[in-house]
């Protein structure tokens, strides 16, 4: 599997709400700072940093999208 995003790409992170539901209110713009190894179950992960807060996260590719 290939990573969809590259280092230094801007992405929107869709945070998870209660019980894993997407939280449409809190979608933030982040920068990809590292592409992580693919998980054993095939999930692609990234380390991202918020552009507005002092926060870093490790997220799966399905939680990311390109900014509008």
CB 13 within 8 A of CB 57: yes
Of the candidates 43, 18, 45, 46, the one whose C-alpha atom is nearest the C-alpha of residue 31 is 46
For residue range 51-66, what is the model confidence (pLDDT) as tens digits? 888 999 999 999 999 9
At 11 the pLDDT is 96
Cα–Cα nearest to 11, from 40, 42, 49: 49
pLDDT tens for 4-51 read: 999 999 999 987 666 656 555 555 899 999 999 988 899 999 999 998
Q: What is the domain partition of the chain in residue ranges?
A: 10-65
Task: Return the pLDDT at 20.
Answer: 57
pLDDT of residue 68: 81
Q: Does 3 have pLDDT greater than 60?
A: yes
């Amino acid at each position: 599997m290939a990573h969809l995003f590259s280092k230094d790409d801007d992405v929107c992170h869709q945070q998870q709400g209660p019980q894993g539901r997407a939280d449409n209110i809190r979608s933030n713009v982040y920068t990809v700072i590292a592409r992580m190894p693919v998980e054993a179950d095939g999930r692609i992960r990234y380390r991202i940093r918020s552009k507005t807060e002092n926060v870093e996260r490790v997220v799966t590719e399905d939680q990311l999208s390109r900014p509008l």
